[in-house]
A and B are shown apart, each in its own frame.
Chain A
Amino acid sequence: MSDENGIALMQFPKEVLQRLQPDLVFKRHLNLGLRPRSLMKFDEYREVISVSNDDITCDNQVTQESNTIIVSTNTSKIGNSMVIKTDISLGVSEVDNNYSNQYAQIWPEVIVNRGRIGAPTDEEMIASRLIYEDFIAGRFVKQDELIINEVGIKKPEEDEINYDTEDVDEETINEIRDKYTFVLYAKINVYSREGPVYDHVHNSLMSALTKLQVPRVFIEEDSIDLKIPIKKSFNKKQTEKTKKTFNLKFDFKNMNKINLSNKISIASNYGVITTDPTILIETEERDDESMDIEKPELKKEKIMISDISSDIEEQSILSRISVSCNEDGYSSIRLVNGHSLDKVTVNDLKKVLEMAKLKQESLYNNLE
């Protein structure tokens, strides 16, 4: 340690060491049988407190722009700090003529709040895409459920909306009926991120989905005859043309609950890491005699970690599995071996699938 030896031995406080050598810190903890920071057991999950509701909130009351109407929300608290808030909102779009979609899609946007602004990070884009694909793979909402097939009419002098439209102004109603569909958007905010977000974001969205509802739609009678001229063209041949616009209004007092065609799936993640007994911290004073005794416990052991939950774990565990399943089966498995020494084998996969099923059962009741 003297200057003559060249480099002095440096010592770092534990916060600094965690950032410099997360691997080392993590493996030392593993030798003690605990996980760093959270001090959880290897197969322990963080506690999830999840609240979903179907309150309707509208960001902009004046314009009532459709995709600002939030019809279902979920707030989940994962562990001690991470909070995820999912808002499902609605948009309206014309039904494609060649539509024969069996199941609807969702357009998610995942935002991990880190006090920065700018283009979305890779993590946000990956999480959004995964959720988009999972929603398709899960086949949760039938497109038919979202198509507007019932249109009410409101007379200006009455307060009641008449949904029994067999006898009134059929032409206008027919022009709307089955021609428009609701589109689902999900805005997912992650606050004080801890560990990979994807699985928890997925669960939060699933939970919000159970409360999904769409309003009934009506038009006001006096707006039926409203005709807005579209711009006169520079092409003289074309005469000025008018275009009917319908002011679709939403009746938030009359909501239709969306029935999910498949049970929601629950995602959980696991990682594999090998312990390194050579970096065990010596806690006892070593006797000189013990040098001669062979140490039997110098064996590398593979450990399965569930719910990767801190940046230390995130940086050291590169071989991961993420499983999402419901009681009827799996909807997605993602296994990546990102580390050439710690590898997930087929046996590990089996073990993980069992664990994922157990986790699904316990969390499913919690979320619903």
Chain B
Amino acid sequence: MKFAILVNEGPYQHQASDSAYQFAVAAIESGHEVARVFFYHDGVNNGSNLTTPPQDDRHIQKRWSALAAESGVDLVLCVAACQRRGMVDEGERDRNKKDAINVADGFRISGLGQLIEAGIEADRLLTFGD
């Protein structure tokens, strides 16, 4: 079965990022496909490569990036949410004349159309948030 996941909450805020990740891993281990994880609202902060959590804590961003590399999960950050929160990739840096990039490997910035498409193409769309 094909799953899509929506994450509406930032990392280390409450539990949504962790629940969504654990669900994605269990789904893949159960033989399902996780086609896309769409990060909306504060959820886009999951994709910042500037985070440095303590060494004995889980690294939420790196965990997502590894999932993308190993299982081909498409990690999409909402562009409007990114602009408000200072999440910048190469395209956004050039377009908005910023001097840095902080979108981690495996993540890409795109629009809400990607969420709608995930909802149409996946068999189930699951939301995690506050």
Q: Do they bind each other?
A: no
Task: List the interface of chain A (C-beta within 8 A of B).
Answer: none
Task: List the interface of chain B (C-beta within 8 A of A).
Answer: none
